[in-house]
Chain A
């Protein structure tokens, strides 16, 4: 970690429900404090289209389910000095990972044929190809910190960020757990 007071943060959601990002926003008025210490330079919450060359902290929500997710996870690993898996989907696969019990074809068929009445077809244009198995983020790249929870409570996210701002490595294990 850098010991500067102003750190850059990038976030992304892979295969998840965006709930972890919502939980992040739930830190409420502490967002103002955070804004003085942190630059969010890439995120679904801001307008930037490109991940800058070097980022202090990368935060990934969601599991790695598609080629797009895989690319993004690898990109984050390359560009971020410190990478955080945020939430159960990123940490353990969680709900997206439940499709691993079935072959991918069966899952697609179920979703786009069996459960559709009008013009059933599996989408194949403009959507990323799904991987055969859903993986947690650490299944494809090295991860520096794991923050469990579905979603991790706002207080935990605040704790993690404020520790990082102060140049310490946070230990969220005492504050959160799988499924919290």
Chain B
């Protein structure tokens, strides 16, 4: 296929979509589905089945998950109207309003900052197109970058665009994508692999899930482009099995893309071939770590191994392998389509482009957002997120998942980029953002995240396996008010050792929530120590708290 053919095909599809006067989009992403979007969709479809002028579409995530199920109506010649918390019973009213005045009681103000302050690149099609229809993706300029690249660009030119874009890995590490890609491309000889990491396991994070569910072709296109650029012929998408909808849509997308000639043998009648297989994760968080992920793909126990060698040098089955996460690949098609320089014009000097965040916790507008790098945390939490609910007081925002840090009020004006967040004691991570109010005890928060890391430690290296266990026990002791000054000192020492000595990122970052809460909320720990403080030399906590069992009291005293 040549570019002109693709353009014709896109124009054709666009034209065929023109026949309906009213397009009703129902968010069918996991968030809205869990609040009943499916029945709303069915009701709307049923009630408009007769009408030729109305089409009802299931689309991907619209972002404002807090207000789901979301429905958007676009009528010819009118501004789109968004409805929130639509129920089955509202369907008739919505259908009746088509062509007339909108249903005011259901309206979701789409001019609120939540929508207007975002900058969508990765999510540009999310909530707009039907993710299960490849046609809709094509009509929205989809696969344009792919066709353009394989027919008119050399792999080196593709690499250059990625390099110029300044894109950094969105999985958490922030390693420059261009550098990684060119390393893989330069590795001599034989087969190479492209792996997409969709093992999103952070509690409260659903960025990759939304992308895979709302716009799966974008990820496929990004991977094929990567394969072309680095000289790989095989790709794997590693998705956690907990995302059945994403898996279903990806499976269909891969089939459709293969049928259309964007995947498989001789893509666009060129000599370039590339195929993609899906691999399901079995629920281990550590498999998001690249070397563990590769072990899992190979069918071995999902455990990390020391790096170097990096996957680029020795990856899947020893072959050079490029691993990026879902969001990174999703950024590639627009970069190739619009040029690396365009992408580099967005964001900050060292962190280019946009970042998708999943807002959760004590915040009004729970949901999925995409913002330019360099935006302040305050803008995200208060302007876009709408701040904490009435009667609550903002206390901290936790960025970067279980291994991120908690930042208090005074850090809210920091620009959000990889390096600033790291300096502040947190990380960008993959983009989870959890807002906490005054009801959250920071010791409990640290304990919760430590419990997560302890449960998810693979058990291979000593500091992570035994260290997270000991840190959790100490946090538990402190949280219950039995901790001593000595315990706190020991906790800090363990943090240092586990961070410096662990084999992989899981262990190395596991102490972050403790360290950041100790840095910014130390008083909360100290207050806990004082709660039940006994003079030094008293019996240890385990004895103090336990009431002696009645029986042993009788029998032994």
Contacts and interface: CB of A to CB of B under 8 A. Distances in A.
Is there a direct interface between A and B, measured as CB atoms under 8 Å apart in the complex?
Answer: yes
Interface of A: 70, 74, 77-78, 104-105, 108, 122-124, 127, 129-133, 135, 139-142
Contacts of B540: 135, 139-140
B553 A129 contact: yes
B539 A108 contact: no
Contact of A141 (B537, B542, B554, B557): B537
A140 B557 contact: no
Interface string B527-557: 0000000001101101100101101111111
A137 B351 CA distance: 54
Contact of A124 (B537, B542, B554): B554
Contact of A122 (B543, B548, B549, B555): B555
B537 A77 contact: yes
A74 B536 CA distance: 10
Nearest to B557: A129
B261 to A, nearest CB: 65
A142 to B, nearest CB: 7
Contacts of B546: 132
A130 B552 contact: yes
A18 to B, nearest CB: 22
Given A132-B548, A140-B537, A142-B537, A108 B542 contact: no
Interface in B15-71: none
A132 B539 CA distance: 12
B294 to A, nearest CB: 39
A122 B537 contact: no
A54 B508 CA distance: 47
Contact of A130 (B536, B542, B554, B556): B556
Contact of B556 (A78, A129, A141): A129
A139 B548 CA distance: 19
Contacts of A131: 539, 543
A127 B536 contact: no
Interface residues of B, number: 16
Interface of B: 536-537, 539-540, 542-543, 546, 548-549, 551-557
A140 B552 contact: no
Query: Chain A: interface secondary structure?
Result: mixed
A70 B536 contact: no
Nearest to A64: B539
B557 A133 contact: no
B556 A127 contact: yes
Contacts of B539: 70, 131, 140
A132 B556 contact: no
A142 B536 contact: yes
Contacts of A70: 539
B543 A133 contact: yes
Contacts of A104: 549, 552
30 contacts: A70-B539, A74-B537, A77-B537, A104-B549, A104-B552, A108-B552, A108-B555, A108-B556, A122-B555, A124-B554, A124-B555, A124-B556, A124-B557, A127-B556, A129-B548, A129-B552, A129-B553, A129-B556, A131-B539, A131-B543, A132-B542, A132-B546, A132-B548, A132-B552, A133-B542, A133-B543, A139-B540, A140-B537, A140-B539, A140-B540
A139 B543 CA distance: 11
A127 B557 CA distance: 7
B463 to A, nearest CB: 21
A122 B549 CA distance: 15
B493 to A, nearest CB: 15
Contacts of B557: 124, 129
A76 B539 CA distance: 14
Contacts of B553: 129
Contacts of A140: 537, 539-540
Contacts of A141: 537
Nearest to B540: A139
B537 A132 contact: no
B378 to A, nearest CB: 47
B8 to A, nearest CB: 76
User: Which 6 residue pairs spanning A and B have beta carbons closest together?
Assistant: A122-B555, A129-B556, A129-B557, A141-B537, A124-B555, A74-B537
Nearest to B542: A133
Contacts of A123: 556
Given A129-B557, A132-B543, A105 B552 contact: yes
Nearest to A78: B537
A140 B536 CA distance: 9
B482 to A, nearest CB: 14
